Each structure stands twice: as structure tokens, then as C-alpha cells.
Amino acid sequence: MNPDIKAINEKIIKESEFTEKITNEISKVIVGQSYMVERLLIGLLSNGHILLEGVPGLAKTLTVNTLSSTIKTKFQRIQFTPDLLPADLLGTLIFNQKDGEFTTKKGPIFSNIILADEINRSPAKVQSALLEAMQERQVTIGENTFKLEDPFLVLATQNPIEQEGTYPLPEAQVDRFMLKINVGYPSPEEELEIIRRTTKSNEVQVNAVVTPQDINKARNVVKEVYVDEKIEKYIVDIVFATREPEKYGLEDLNELINYGASPRASIYLTLAAKAHAFLQRRGYVTPEDVRSIGMDVLRHRIILSYEAEAEEIGTEDVIRKVLNRVEVP
Amino acid sequence: MNKQFLFGLFLCLILSSSIFSQSNQDTSVSDISLLTYVENESVALNREVVYIVQLSWQGELGRYKISDVLDPDVTNLIVRGSGSSNKVITNSDGKEISTKRITFYFRPVEMGMAYINGVTIRYKDTLLDQNESLLAGRISVKIIDPIPGSSSNNILQYVVYVIIILVIGLGVYLFVLYNKRKKENALEELENIKETTEKKYLRLLKETIHLAGNNYKEKLHDLTHLLIGFFSEKYSTSLSNLSSKDILKYIEYREIEPKIYAKIIEFMTKSDLIRFAGNTVNETDFHQLYDSVEWILEKSKNDNSEKEDE
């Protein structure tokens, strides 16, 4: 099969225009953080939920807020607190005394973009309710099942430094996030710009520059991005190297990894690589796309052993080793 | 026996000199006396004959001023050199005795008898302001067979010293030469390795990538990996696990001729399109890509040689 790369490229050029508009609108508010913005777009384009992790004050929430402002769609911010209940999130049945019937009161999850702020502050039952909805893209209230709106994107944030009063997400549930992004500090130049922008009185107006239809069209083009068999094999090799490191000459990782990445990692790695290629205005995936997105896809899918913890080896170290070892096609 | 003989000779000489001197000098006017003698009556052919002329008088050293000492007239001897020394002593009577000693050194010519026919000493009596002269008598010396002695030992010693110095010098020279050669060899080896990398990959290109046949996509894969392998070996790093973009970024920071770098970019871009974008590759395309790799390897080789020449 010879894909028509030229045609795909043309489609990409046509359908990817909005990505630049979104980036420009976000940059009106957010200084730097281009890496995070690019990953958010990848999530948006490949219909994958994103977990943002970083210390407070790195504009995680602001970025997601701004992103949602650029899309003509419904946005809900849910502040996760210890007393939050699943019904507060999903909705509930309310008895109408007048009619003598139960009516459904839909929760804030019935929106297009959900900002689950500080997701690890709520207990497991709430997290579970959200994560189930994320996976199934439907919610059952009473006897009725409701399909969630499309696009449906959950952008969750969590703070890695505070452990008191938090409920860390179980590994199986974290796995449902397509990307886990570690948000880093801005550079000194960026920080100077942040000071200048935030200490002035003028308010910046962020415009909605894209519709859900545009996003759906772009998503369809992303699906068309060509992935060669060699790239598919490369993705599988990377994922397998986390499960059976010794087969890839990574015997030293054997003791460090308890559980390797799941098949969901392969799926998301392929999808994210396609979205990355789309953002590069390229109709085919190269190993570069896989490598550049690999860390964010695999970071939360590998469970390390106590030995790794004792040796202060993190998942990022392991992934780096894997990416540097698995032969690029 | 030799000592006794010498002592006897010494006495004779003193007596003869005194007599001779007396016969030639007016002692009432001047009490200068002349004594001449040889250190050894018989001297080996390989030794020196030492002939001593000693003038002594009562009174101050400055009383007599030696104006001229002519070289002795000799037979079977060659003058090698001479030297003089002065000495003033006070005898038991409390009188000053001044002595002037002139030593001649002769080298024997051949075995047999040698003669010192006498020496004329001209001097001036500063007190009386008179010029006088003294003539020493004839002395014979027997020149005997050469014997190993200190002089030959000295020569031998000198020879040994010279040999040692020469050996040390030679050793130092050889050491310096060895180090220089070692450095040259190391450089040569390095050059060979460098040269081998390009040559090796040119050879591998010809041996492993065949232009004939089909399945050009697979061949292009091998061709690309051969080029990546070449750069890995050239820069002593593993580039096989990097994407084309990273490889190009890595090469960009090396000292590489822009033309070669541009060709590498062209090749990698085309290769990526064929390998990952599902583009087809026909025989002509493959030949062009093959030529590109060959050109890159050849040019890298020349580029290396030029840098080395510089």
C-alpha cells in the first residue's frame, strides 16, 4: 500500500491552521511553557486525556483555562476536594415531588473540556468515577446511561510535593491518561516577562478561535497520518523493552522494573506520534515523533521496583535508557 | 738501587755544578749557584724526561733577575714544555736562601741514550747591575723499553671516559629517536585508523549493498544504516539509536564541510520519506541514493586528508 502522503500533507495544512491560532491566543496569557501547550494540543488532536504534574504556580490551571477559552465549547472546572462526592461530578437523580418522579440532574462532567484541578485531593471513589467516565465516555445515572459530549477532554492537574491529605491516583487509573506532563519552571527571561505581564492592569482578551467541528476534522486527519510498519515495530519494541528489557540488551533494568507499559501505551504512543507529526505539518510518522512523545506517554505506565527506589532511579531514567537502546529503524 | 744511584748522581751534579759554576762565576762577586739534574736516569720510551735547572743564592729573591733561559740543546729528545717556580727559605743560620727552579719536559724519540747538552741561563745581578750567565753541564738519560704506566692508564681512562660519554650520548640520542619514532608511529596509526574508517565503509558499501536486484526499500534501509554506522565509528559514538533529526543535529556540531553536510541532509530526508512515508523507490532513485552515500564517504576521506595536510 502506497499512502498518498501528498494528499495527507495538503489536508494537514488545511486542517492544522487552528493549532497556530490556539498557540497564539494562549501565548497572549501564558509566557513560555511551549512544551506543555504542544502536549495539550497533542491530547486535543488525539482525543487523549492529560495529567499535568508540577509544583504550584507554574500556570497549569491557567494554561488549561486559556486553552478552553480558545475553543468555542463548554468548559467546566472542577476543584477536587476531600469532601467531593461522585454525584457532585457525574450528576444525580432528584425526586420531583410535584410529578412524583425522579429527574436526572447532570453533573459538571457533561462538558467538552474538564479541568480536574488537583485531582489527587479527592478520595478514590470520586477519582474512580471520573476515570471511568474518561474511559467509557459515558455516564450512568440511575438507570439511564448518558453519552458524554464530543469532544470530551479531561485535563487533570496534581501537585507532586504535597502528600498530606492527598489520595495518589492508583496506577491502573493513571494509565487512562494518554500523557502525563511534568511542568517545569520557566527560564529567567520568561519569568521576567511573566512579572511584566502580570503586574500590569490591562486585561488580555482571549478569543475563541476554533470550534469542536474543527477539532473533529483535525482528529480525522490525524488518524490518516501514515505510520510505516517499521515505525509500528519500533513502537512495539520500545514498549516491549519496558516489559522484557533483557531481550533488548537492557539486563540492568530487569531488577528495576516491576511492571512494564501496557498495550494502551503502544496505542497512545502511536496516536500521540501521529498528532506530533500533524503538528509538524507532516503526513507520516518518523522515529523522531515517537522519541519526542515517548517520555510523556510512558512516564506513568512503568512501575518500578523497590530496588529502583533504593537506588533513586526514576521512571524517566528507565525510559531514557530504553529510548537510547532500542534500535531506531 | 735506583734511589742510591740517583742520590749519587745528585751529589755529583751538585759538585760538578758548583765546580762548573765556580769555574764560570766569580763567587766573591756573586754567590749564585746552579744545579741541574734529571728526575730519572733511565726513562721509558712512553714517559717524559724531566730536566730541572735550579738556581739558588743567598739573599733576596730580587737580587738576581733571570733575563733569558735558552732551550737546552738535546739529542734523542723533543722539548714538550717548561715551567718555573720561585722559593725563599731561611736556613739554620737565619740567612735567606732564594731558589729559582726551571723545569723542562722532554719526550724521548727512540730507545737508547738521550742527551741534554746543557742550558745557558742569562741573568742580571740587580745589586751590581751586571749581566752574567751560567751554563749547565751535559746530562745523559737512558731511554728504555716502554712500560705500561700511569700515562697509558690516563689515556686508557680518557678513552674509557670518552666511550662512556659516547655511549650515554648514543643512548640519549637513541631514546630521543625512539620517542620520536613512537610518536610518528602513533600518528601514523591514527591516520591509518581514520583512513580505514572511510575506506572500510567504502568497501562495505561495495560488498554489502548491491545495486543489482530488487527490494530497493530494504536496500535503502541497509544503506542508511551503513551511513549512520560510518558516522558512529567516525565520531566514536553510537548514533544508531537516534532519529535522523538528532543524527543531523549531532553531525552539524562537528567540523564537517558544508557541502558534505548538505548532502547528508538531502540523503536523510529522501531516505526518511521512502522508509517512513511509504514512498516508492525505483532503481534510478536507489542508484542516486547509493551514489550520494559513496560521494559522502569519498568526500569525507578527502576532507580528512586536507585537514591532515593543514
Tens digit of each residue's pLDDT (9 = 90 or more) over A66-99: 888 898 888 888 998 889 998 998 999 888 888 8
Window 257-286 of B: residues touching A by CB (8 A cutoff) are 272-273, 275-280
3-state DSSP assignment of residue A232: helix
Question: Which residues of A are less than 8 Å from B246 in CB distance?
Answer: 288, 291
Query: In chain B, how long is the greatest CA-to-CA distance?
Result: 138
Residues B142 and B171 in one domain: no
Q: Which chain B residue has the Cα nearest residue A231?
A: B276
* Overall number of domains in chain B: 2
DSSP string, A142-161: TTEEEEPPSS-EEEEEE-SS
- Give the whole-number percent of chain A exceeding pLDDT 90: 24
**CA A114 – CA B255 distance, rounded (Å):** 51
Residues A157 and A63 in one domain: yes
pLDDT band for A50, please (50, 70, 90 cuts).
very high
Residues A229 and A208 in one domain: no
Q: Strand pairing of A144-147 and A138-141?
A: antiparallel
Residues A203 and A243 in one domain: no
3-class SS letters over A95-119: EECCCCEEEEEECCCCCCEEEEECH
Query: Is cis: bond before A151, omega within 30 of 0?
Result: yes
A36 CB-contact burial (10 Å; exposed 0-12 / middle 13-18 / buried 19+): buried
In the prediction, which pLDDT does B306 show? 61
**CA A247 – CA A254 distance, rounded (Å):** 10
In the prediction, which pLDDT does B26 show? 36
> Cβ atoms within 10 A of the Cβ of A267, count?
16
Question: Which residues of A are less than 8 Å from B276 in CB distance?
Answer: 226, 228, 230-231, 284-287, 329
Assess if residue A56 is contained within a domain: yes
Asked if A230 is an interface residue toward chain B (Cβ–Cβ < 8 A), one would say yes
Residues A192 and A229 in one domain: no
Residues A105 and A236 in one domain: no
Residues A170 and A248 in one domain: no
**CA B129 – CA A224 distance, rounded (Å):** 137
Residues A234 and A265 in one domain: yes
Side-chain-side CA neighbours of A126 within 13 Å: the count stands at 25
DSSP string, A179-225: EEEEPPPPPHHHHHHHHHHHTSSPPPPPP--B-HHHHHHHHHHHHHS
ipTM: 0.71
Contact criterion met (CB below 8 Å) for A51 and A177 = yes
Grid coordinates given for B300: 569525507
* Overall number of domains in chain A: 2
Residues A128 and A47 in one domain: yes
Asked if A291 is an interface residue toward chain B (Cβ–Cβ < 8 A), one would say yes
Answer yes or no: do A228 and B275 touch at CB < 8 A: yes
Contact criterion met (CB below 8 Å) for B275 and A329 = yes
Residues B40 and B130 in one domain: yes
Mean pLDDT of all residues in A15-31? 87
| Structural domain that includes position B260 | 166-309
Assess if residue A8 is contained within a domain: no
DSSP string, B143-183: EE-----HHHHHHHHHHHHHHHHHHHHHHHHHHHHHHHHHH
Assess if residue B154 is contained within a domain: no
In the prediction, which pLDDT does A127 show? 87
Residues A188 and A59 in one domain: yes
- Give the whole-number percent of chain A exceeding pLDDT 70: 98
Q: Which of B240, B272, B279 sits opposite A286 (nearest CB)?
A: B272
Chain mean position to CA B66: 47
Assess if residue B161 is contained within a domain: no
| Structural domain that includes position A38 | 17-212
Answer yes or no: do A228 and B276 touch at CB < 8 A: yes
- What residue type is assigned to position B195 of the chain? E
In the prediction, which pLDDT does A169 show? 85
Point out the domain boundary residue: A159, A177, A212: A212
Nearest to A283 by CA among A47, A2, A12: A12
Q: Which of A230, A231, A328 sits opposite B240 (nearest CB)?
A: A328
State which H helix or E strand residue B85 sits in.
Answer: strand B77-90
Residues B193 and B131 in one domain: no
> Cβ atoms within 10 A of the Cβ of B54, count?
19
Question: Taking all residues of chain A, what is their mean pLDDT, rounded to a whole number?
Answer: 87
3-state DSSP assignment of residue A282: coil
Contacts of A180 (CB under 8 A, 6+ apart): A50, A51, A53, A174, A296, A299, A300
Grid coordinates given for A1: 500500500
Residues A25 and A153 in one domain: yes
Contact criterion met (CB below 8 Å) for B10 and B37 = yes
Assess if residue B278 is contained within a domain: yes
Residues A207 and A256 in one domain: no
Residues A152 and A285 in one domain: no
In the prediction, which pLDDT does B178 show? 93
Residues B56 and B174 in one domain: no
CA dist list (Å): A293 to A297, B164, B255 = 6, 75, 30
Point out the domain boundary residue: A161, A188, A212: A212
Residues B114 and B181 in one domain: no
Query: In chain A, how long is the greatest CA-to-CA distance?
Result: 71
Residues B61 and B129 in one domain: yes
**CA A252 – CA A318 distance, rounded (Å):** 10
Residues B217 and B252 in one domain: yes
- Give A254's DSSP letter: T
B169-B170-B171 Cα angle (round to 5): 90
Answer yes or no: do A286 and B243 touch at CB < 8 A: yes
Written as tens digits, the pLDDT of chain B (310 aa) is 455 555 555 544 454 444 444 333 333 445 788 888 998 889 998 888 999 988 888 888 888 888 877 788 899 999 888 888 998 888 888 888 889 998 999 999 998 999 998 788 888 888 888 888 888 888 999 999 888 765 556 777 888 899 999 999 999 999 999 999 999 888 877 766 666 788 888 888 888 888 887 788 888 888 998 999 988 888 888 887 787 888 888 888 887 888 888 999 999 888 888 888 888 888 888 888 999 999 988 888 766 666 655 5
Assess if residue B159 is contained within a domain: no
Nearest to A300 by CA among A163, A173, A164: A173
**CA A240 – CA A260 distance, rounded (Å):** 8
Assess if residue B160 is contained within a domain: no
Beta-strand ranges (E) seen in A236-328 are 257-259, 303-304
Residues B197 and B124 in one domain: no
Grid coordinates given for B72: 737546552
Answer yes or no: do A287 and B221 touch at CB < 8 A: no
Nearest to B55 by CA among B70, B40, B29, B36: B36
CA dist list (Å): B265 to A35, A90, A288, B123 = 26, 53, 15, 106
Q: Which of B244, B246, B277 sits opposite A284 (nearest CB)?
A: B277
Quote the minimal CA–CA distance from A282 to chain B in Å.
9
Contact criterion met (CB below 8 Å) for A153 and A64 = no
Q: Which of B243, B245, B276 sits opposite A230 (nearest CB)?
A: B276
Asked if A288 is an interface residue toward chain B (Cβ–Cβ < 8 A), one would say yes
Residues B128 and B87 in one domain: yes
User: Which CATH number fits the domain that encloses residue B133?
Assistant: 2.60.40
User: Which CATH number fits the domain that encloses residue A62?
Assistant: 3.40.50.300
Contacts of A92 (CB under 8 A, 6+ apart): A104, A105, A107, A141
Point out the domain boundary residue: B147, B179, B209: B147
- What residue type is assigned to position B90 of the chain? T
**CA A313 – CA A319 distance, rounded (Å):** 11
Tens digit of each residue's pLDDT (9 = 90 or more) over A135-167: 888 888 888 888 888 888 898 988 877 667 788
In the prediction, which pLDDT does A266 show? 94
Assess if residue A4 is contained within a domain: no
Identify any residues that bridge with B185 across adjacent strands, giving them in sequence order: none
Point out the domain boundary residue: A162, A187, A212: A212
Preferred mutation among A9, A12, A228 to probe B, highest tally of B CBs within 10 A:
A228
Asked if A285 is an interface residue toward chain B (Cβ–Cβ < 8 A), one would say yes
745528585: which residue's cell?
B10
Residues B194 and B276 in one domain: yes
